């Protein structure tokens, strides 16, 4: 996902140098201002999840042949994100904004133990994702454009992304923005130990079976004499290209709406090889999905101010793709100001989706299927997500400190597949 590219770092240093120079040449209205740290945002969150349909063990609990499967989806994630916002102005009044971020997540997942059939895999992992984004805005004309670069790394996944965005405002309170982005991912193809695709030179099928049996029991202590066993598994590319269009319009002093359209094209290895699939005859393979996918989400927002104290924020999204998945999302949030500096925001979101053409539960796939998955993210289900947020932003900050705003949010998620989760987050803004 997110990486600081050398090109954008160079741009950043160039702008920093340019804005830091003292100049005596002014326009009639504007004066050059060097880049200045305007805001620091720190978000920390804790997420916990339970469920019984892990894709690593074929979509659930059960006994297939001699294998006893544990479908636990138990997972915890502790995330921290730091973002720095720097703002400067050129002599012509052009505003330059740089957002530099760094995120670090650490998670534990019960299902990772079952990537190896012996339960020997590590149940923990860490993801690191830096980012940088530069935007140039002409406030007088109401136009802006910019670029972003992102990177994400974890033990079996590396992702690098670039984006470009442009927007303008009209004289009737409307605003149009467009964005294009490209993600270039490399996935380490980790197979279940009993399904490692050994290649051999001069080794009989009987000997290969012995090797696989040993591997599935946690070792590879037996190798036939003269065997040339190649067990390395290369990474596989996965590319995602997105085009986004947004139009927002102020209707009056109390109402505003937005229309959103995305087109997403993916290609490459779109499944994961450590997602097992079991068939009606008891045989086992790794998940196999088409190598392309086209997604089209269409959404709308409508916000309405009821007096000075209550805001009604609503959202709807329709989604469809060429794998046969269709979904609907509807949400509402009701921020209420107890005082001008303290608010409470209850929220609720409903989601429903159909299954993709390639999904079937544990042990229900036919051996004649070309594509197959038992990952319940591709199943038909409904979900409810609700919670509350508290926000305080007193004038002058808290006790005249750099802390200008503090927000606490809690949410509970419940899916009809029996997956449940809770998340709590704390957002600090310093100025």
Mean pLDDT estimate for the chain: 85
- pLDDT tens digits for 47-63? 999 999 999 989 988 77
Averaged pLDDT, 317-330:
98
Q: Could you list the residue range(s) of the whole structural domain that residue 98 is in?
A: 6-197+233-430
State the total domains in the chain.
Answer: 1
Averaged pLDDT, 210-234:
48
Asked if residue 217 is part of any domain, the answer here is: no
Cβ neighbours around 72 below 10 Å, total: 19
Asked if residue 214 is part of any domain, the answer here is: no
72 Ramachandran zone, left/alpha/beta (phi>0; psi -120 to 50): beta
Quote the pLDDT of residue 194. Answer: 76
**Structure-model confidence comparison of residues 331 and 207, the more confident one:** 331
Residue 216 has pLDDT above 60, yes or no: no
Give the single-character DSSP code of 279: B
Asked if residue 97 is part of any domain, the answer here is: yes
Asked if residue 393 is part of any domain, the answer here is: yes
pLDDT band at 122 (very low <50, low <70, confident <90, very high): low
Cβ(46)–Cβ(421) under 8 Å?
Answer: no
Determine the Cα–Cα distance for residues 168 and 164; give it in Å rounded to an integer.
Answer: 14
Query: Could you identify the residue written with the tokens 């793709």?
Result: 321
Asked if residue 209 is part of any domain, the answer here is: no
Asked if residue 204 is part of any domain, the answer here is: no
**Structure-model confidence comparison of residues 164 and 7, the more confident one:** 164
- pLDDT tens digits for 159-213? 999 999 999 999 899 999 999 999 999 988 888 877 776 655 555 444 445 445 4
Residue 314 has pLDDT above 80, yes or no: yes
Give the lowest-confidence range in 66-70, 134-138, 299-303, 418-422.
66-70
pLDDT band at 29 (very low <50, low <70, confident <90, very high): low
Asked if residue 119 is part of any domain, the answer here is: yes
Question: Looking at residue 92, which CATH number applies to its domain?
Answer: 2.40.160
């Amino acid at each position: 996902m997110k990486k600081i590219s050398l090109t954008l770092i160079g741009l950043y240093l160039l702008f920093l140098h340019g804005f830091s120079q003292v100049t005596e040449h002014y326009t009639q209205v504007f004066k050059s201002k060097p880049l200045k740290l305007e805001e620091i945002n720190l978000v920390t969150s804790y997420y916990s999840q339970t469920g019984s349909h892990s894709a690593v063990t074929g979509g659930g609990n059960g006994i297939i042949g001699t294998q006893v499967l544990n479908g636990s989806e138990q997972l915890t994630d502790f995330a921290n994100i730091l973002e720095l916002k720097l703002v400067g102005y050129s002599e012509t009044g052009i505003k330059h904004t740089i957002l530099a971020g760094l995120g670090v997540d650490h998670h534990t997942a019960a299902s990772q133990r079952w990537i190896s059939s012996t339960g020997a895999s590590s149940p923990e992992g860490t993801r690191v994702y830096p980012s940088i984004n530069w935007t140039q805005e002409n406030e007088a004309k109401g136009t802006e454009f910019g670029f972003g670069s992102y990177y994400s790394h974890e033990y079996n996944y590396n992702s690098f992304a670039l984006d470009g965005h442009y927007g303008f405002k009209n004289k009737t309170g409307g605003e149009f923005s467009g964005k294009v982005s490209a993600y270039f991912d490399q996935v380490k193809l980790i197979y279940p130990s009993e399904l490692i695709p050994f290649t051999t030179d001069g080794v009989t099928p009987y000997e290969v079976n012995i090797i696989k049996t040993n591997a599935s029991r946690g070792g590879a202590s037996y190798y036939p004499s003269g065997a040339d066993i190649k067990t390395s598994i290369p990474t596989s590319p996965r590319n995602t290209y997105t085009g986004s269009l947004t139009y927002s319009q102020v209707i009056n002093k109390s109402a505003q709406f937005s229309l959103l359209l995305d087109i997403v094209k993916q290609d490459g290895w779109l499944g994961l090889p450590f997602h097992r699939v079991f068939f009606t005859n008891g045989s086992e393979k790794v998940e196999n999905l088409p190598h392309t996918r086209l997604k089209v989400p269409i959404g709308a927002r409508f916000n309405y101010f009821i007096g000075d104290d209550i805001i009604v924020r609503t959202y709807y999204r329709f989604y469809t793709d060429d794998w046969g998945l269709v979904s609907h999302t509807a949400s509402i949030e009701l921020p209420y100001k107890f005082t001008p500096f303290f608010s409470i925001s209850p929220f609720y979101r409903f989601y429903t989706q159909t299954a993709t053409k390639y999904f079937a539960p544990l042990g229900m796939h036919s051996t004649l299927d070309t594509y197959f998955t038992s990952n319940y993210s591709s199943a038909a289900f409904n979900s409810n997500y609700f919670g509350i947020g508290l926000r305080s932003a007193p004038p002058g900050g808290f006790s005249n400190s750099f802390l200008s705003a503090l927000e606490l949010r809690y949410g509970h998620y419940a899916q009809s597949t029996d997956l449940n989760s809770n998340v709590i987050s704390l957002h600090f803004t310093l100025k």
